Amino acid sequence: MGKVLKDKRILIIGGSSGIGFAIASAALSEGARVTIASTSEEKLRGALDRLGGGESATLDVTDEAAIEAFFASSGSFDHIVFTAADWGPVEQTEFSQTDLKAAAELFEVRFWGALAVAKHGAKCVPPGGSITLTNGMAAHRPDKGMATAAAMAGAVEHLVLGLAVELAPIRVNAVCPGAILTEAFDNVPPEFRKFQEARLSKQLLPRVGTPDEAAEAYLYLMRGSYTTGQALRVEGGWSLKG
Ligand SMILES: NC(=O)c1ccc[n+]([C@@H]2O[C@H](COP(=O)([O-])OP(=O)(O)OC[C@H]3O[C@@H](n4cnc5c(N)ncnc54)[C@H](OP(=O)(O)O)[C@@H]3O)[C@@H](O)[C@H]2O)c1
């Protein structure tokens, strides 16, 4: 398809780390004009240094007024990608012990943040441009103790269906990653790491994925001018076995 993204203006919310950073790097190498956004100025500065290009913007997706103000002065973006996520302690809670306040908070960045960005950001995306969100395989194969995470990831996937209808001809899709080795794994407790490794050894591609492998899916969804309302799985075959 050639360098379809050359000179396209792309906003990556969550681009200071992990999958978002890999998308920024891949898009820059295709000649796109990239802006990464997240809450920490320090992380954004470090990411821009490592990227060797692009621009940054400080933005907290839990603050709707800030999102509205950002898009009021940002100019247009051909593509908006949303990978923002906050990670509380990674633990698999016994369902009967679910803290409903913490369960509601799990939706704030990844679901309500995504919805707010689509609400205000769509005004800045031209017809045929795209918005790509991020859910996760918990939506399809939740582990025990992850009922809330399954609901949140599923809610993002269904938000994509609704937004694809609401916002057409802007295209709206999601990427649904399996286990991808990002900075998010830095603070994972050893027992959860062991549990993940045992699971990964049973899937069709028996290893953890890389951020670059996940980034490919976002690049496709930006380029894929006849694709909307989809959730593209990048999960080493976990849907089938593992
Ligand atoms: N890695 C995996 O194995 C995996 C598996 C399934 C699904 N996913 C999904 O993939 C997405 C990306 O994951 P990742 O592993 O790349 O995570 P990550 O490395 O932790 O990156 C998360 C990004 O979100 C930003 N962020 C956090 N809170 C924010 C807020 N309130 N407003 C704006 N930006 C915010 C962070 O930067 P600041 O700290 O500077 O704000 C960071 O840039 C998430 O939705 C995650 O659920 C990942």
Instruction: List Cβ neighbours of 206 (8 Å cut-off, separation of 6 or more).
Output: 200, 236
90 pLDDT exceeds 90?
no
Domain 9-234 superfamily per CATH: NAD(P)-binding Rossmann-like Domain (3.40.50.720)
199 three-state secondary structure: helix
Residues 156-183 have a mean pLDDT of: 98
Mutate to test the pocket of ligand 1, among 135, 180, 199 (most ligand atoms within 8 A of CB): 180
Nearest-atom number in ligand 1 for the CA of 40 is: 40
Instruction: Compute the distance between CA of residue 105 and CA of residue 102 in angstroms, rounded to an integer.
Output: 5
Q: Whose CA is nearest to atom 6 of ligand 1?
A: 136
Closest CA to 79 of 31, 27, 131: 131
Identify whether the C-beta of residue 23 lies closer than 8 Å to the C-beta of residue 223.
no
Q: Whose CA is nearest to atom 33 of ligand 1?
A: 38
19 Cα–ligand 1 center, Å:
8
Domain boundaries, the chain: 9-234
Position 3 scores a pLDDT of: 81
User: Per the omega criterion (within 30 degrees of 0), is the bond before 177 cis?
Assistant: no
Identify whether the C-beta of residue 241 lies closer than 8 Å to the C-beta of residue 202.
yes
186 pLDDT exceeds 70?
yes
Position 2 scores a pLDDT of: 62
Mutate to test the pocket of ligand 1, among 182, 185, 192 (most ligand atoms within 8 A of CB): 182
Position 87 scores a pLDDT of: 82
Position 187 scores a pLDDT of: 84
Average pLDDT along the chain: 95
Share of the chain above pLDDT 90, in %: 88
Position 1 scores a pLDDT of: 56
Phi and psi angles of residue 237, each rounded to the nearest 5 degrees, phi first: 85, 15
Nearest-atom number in ligand 1 for the CA of 36 is: 43
